[in-house]
Copies of this chain bind each other. A is one copy, B any other.
């Protein structure tokens, strides 16, 4: 196995470029980090172009065969690739899976959520709740950004995620579309659980775009019984997702 000892190595430099969304979009690839996430990618038959690993002993045989190329790296190279303070020393360049366009019945619509932790957590909950599809409006955080990947705990490989104009998606969706809003909205508990729905969540500060809220079947709110002004968007989305599932 080839050993890479310099962060200036061209493979490492290419991997590092994938920290930028522009380069991920251009190449269709992404850099992922950590044993759990790489294992999830492998289990989900995501194509692994390169593995970079400090502790070769920990490397699973099957995974090593599965990857197109495997490189041993030292700690210095690991630090240059890592997005964390204490790198596990295990990285992969993957091909971002291209979701099949299916007839989705339970969909999460995301209108420009910015915080990577919120987006990652929502992807994880949507996966747990068994939703079919996540649609992101342009301007939403990128699911292949490292903080989103980390918060999603690998769910980014389990559920199809596409970017599309939400207004167009809503026009063609055959099912109820529920927006989330603070005004002109029904307490979510008044809506029954159902098999066919889209749930629309908005930006942390500004909520859902008003034009989109006008296109929904019904807008929902989560009652505040105490003195908090609002709920975190990932929390609010998760409460309503599980409520709609029943």
Contacts and interface: CB of A to CB of B under 8 A. Distances in A.
A217 to B, nearest CB: 22
Interface residues of A, number: 34
Contacts of A97: none
Interface stretch (A16-24, A59-67, A121-129): A121-129
A154 B158 CA distance: 35
Contact of A226 (B128, B224, B231, B235): B128
A125 B231 contact: yes
A131 B226 contact: yes
B228 A127 contact: yes
A246 B189 contact: yes
A224 B126 CA distance: 10
A190 B228 CA distance: 28
Interface in A61-103: none
User: Taking each of A130, A225, A232, which has the highest tally of chain B beta carbons within 10 Å of its own beta carbon?
Assistant: A232
Interface of A: 117, 121, 124-131, 151, 153-155, 158-159, 189, 222, 224-232, 234-235, 238-239, 242, 245-246
